[in-house]
Structures are given as C-alpha cells and as structure tokens.
C-alpha cells in the first residue's frame, strides 16, 4: 500500500523566551519525529532549536540542521543563486520524509508570517508538489515582544503602524516616518549609522526606543539611541519610533 504523504508544519517558536512558545507549537513539535532546524551559519547552532530546548525534551528527535544564508531577498527580482540553492536543498530533504509518510516540523523564530525563511521554503515546496499539505503554527513575534519590553503599545485608536527592515533606502525611511504614526524597524544592527541621523534630522530621537534580544535573558532596552549607534548591536535588535510620545 502506498504511504500517505506527510505534512510540513512551519512552527513559530516565539522571540526567544521558551515560556513564550505556544502550547500548540509544543504539541506539534512533539508529534513530529523529524525537524528541519534552520541555522544562520554553516555548521552553526540553531537559535530556534535552542529556544525549543528550554521548553521541552528534544531527545529522540531526528534533527536535520540546515543552513540558510543571511542575505537580502528582493521579491520582485531573481533570487540569489546561493539562497535559491539553500531553499531547494531544504525542500529536497523535507520532501524525502514527506514521501514516505513522515511529517516534518520546521521551527522558525517569532511568527512564520513575518519575514520568515519557513514561508520561502513553503513556496518552493509547493512549486515542486502543489498538493503538499502545509500547516502554519503562528507564534509570538519579536515585534510584539519588543513593544512589551518597552511598556508601550504598538498602536491605539487611529494610529497607523508599519513594520519595515531598516535596510531600506534613506528616502523610503524618511517617507515612512513622515506618513505613519508608529514605525517598527527590524534588522537595525547594521543600519544605525544611517538611521540615527535621519531620526535626528526629523526630531524623532526622543520618541525612539531600541531593544536588543527581546524576551531573552540578556534583553536590553535602550533610549540612548545616539550612543547605541557607535556600538556593535546584536542581530536581534528592533527599534520602535513614534511620531508622538505615548
């Protein structure tokens, strides 16, 4: 008898604190024998796996560590060959398991719907086999964890909120700050030298707050934005800018 194909579960494991993993995420991870764990460097550790380890016993799981290059992705352009190759290999490794009836969990930081590698893998897998069953398990995003760390809301009433990577062009950043009430900048660790002068120019430094490693043990909330510009920030750094003080 032919095996029924397995399901790919893309599981959001939250921003870093193991206590912020949802019950559904844990239940899904427990029922999947095989996990494809993303790593940021070749042969490096998986941050997602580290988070899960703080919430459940991972012994007995078949864990496939898979490196995804940390490069910019432009949706309207041809994908970088190294990135595409990584997605293709991930899909090949996942599909091998699905074909023999095994389900696979792909844990991803924060929520899978926000700048997540898991959804690129999902798209690639569906091109290979459009009938593949894929289930997305939402997670608490770093955006929400950052707002919680600062004790602020993200938006209230008629406030307009936007989330963008800080790597966008300077003119785009200026226009965004002008047109929205609350702006969340992700991936600011390498863009502070550009971002801070723009905030100063637009008199928004005092309405800005930076959070490194939100929800983790070494979380750091910072209002000294100009000082932070000259420091080496962690990759997990997010900034919230409000046009008016909360």
Mean pLDDT of 47-60: 97
117, 157: one domain = no
- For 159-181, how does the pLDDT look when each residue is reduced to its tens digit (9 = 90+)? 999 999 999 999 999 999 999 99
Which domain does 227 fall in, by range? 142-242
29, 105: one domain = yes
Final residue in a domain of this structure, among 117, 137, 157: 137
Final residue in a domain of this structure, among 98, 120, 137: 137
* DSSP assignments along 74-141, one per residue: -TTSPPPHHHHHHHHHHHHHHHHHHHTT--EEEEESB-TTSS-HHHHHHHHHHHH-TT-EEEEE----
Domain count, the chain: 2
109, 183: one domain = no
Confidence grade of residue 3 (pLDDT, cut at 50, 70, 90):
low
37, 128: one domain = yes
- For 122-158, how does the pLDDT look when each residue is reduced to its tens digit (9 = 90+)? 999 999 999 999 999 999 999 999 999 999 999 999 9
Has residue 1 been placed in a domain?
Answer: no
Has residue 105 been placed in a domain?
Answer: yes
Final residue in a domain of this structure, among 92, 118, 137: 137
Query: pTM score, two decimals?
Result: 0.92
Q: Which of 6, 217, 19, 21 is nearest to 107 (CA)?
A: 21
Confidence grade of residue 246 (pLDDT, cut at 50, 70, 90):
low
- For 205-240, how does the pLDDT look when each residue is reduced to its tens digit (9 = 90+)? 999 999 999 999 999 999 999 999 999 999 999 999
Q: What is the largest CA-CA distance in the chain?
A: 68
Q: How far is the C-alpha of 79 from the C-alpha of 124, rounded, in Å? A: 12
Number of CB atoms found within 10 A of residue 184's CB: 24
102, 43: one domain = yes
């Amino acid at each position: 008898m032919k095996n029924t194909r397995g399901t790919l579960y893309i599981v959001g494991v939250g921003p870093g604190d193991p206590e912020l993993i949802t019950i559904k995420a844990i239940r899904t991870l427990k029922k999947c024998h095989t996990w494809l764990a993303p790593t940021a460097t070749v042969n490096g550790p998986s941050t997602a796996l580290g988070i899960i380890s703080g919430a459940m016993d991972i012994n007995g799981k078949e864990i496939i560590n898979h490196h995804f290059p940390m490069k910019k992705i432009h949706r309207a352009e041809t994908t970088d060959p190294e990135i595409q190759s990584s997605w293709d290999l991930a899909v090949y490794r996942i599909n091998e398991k699905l074909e023999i009836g095994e389900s696979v969990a792909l844990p991803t930081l924060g929520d899978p719907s926000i700048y997540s590698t898991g959804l690129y893998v999902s798209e690639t897998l569906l091109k290979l086999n459009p009938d593949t069953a894929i289930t997305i398990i939402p997670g608490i995003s770093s955006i929400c964890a950052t707002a919680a760390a600062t004790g602020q809301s993200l938006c209230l009433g008629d406030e307009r909120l936007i989330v963008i990577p800080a790597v966008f062009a300077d003119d785009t950043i200026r226009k965004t700050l002008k047109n929205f009430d609350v702006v969340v900048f992700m991936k600011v660790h390498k863009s502070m030298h550009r971002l801070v002068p723009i905030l100063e120019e637009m008199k928004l430094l005092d309405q800005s707050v930076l959070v490194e490693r939100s929800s983790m043990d070494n979380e750091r909330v910072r209002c000294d934005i100009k000082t932070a510009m000259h420091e080496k920030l962690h990759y997990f750094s997010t900034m919230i800018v409000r046009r008016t003080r909360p």
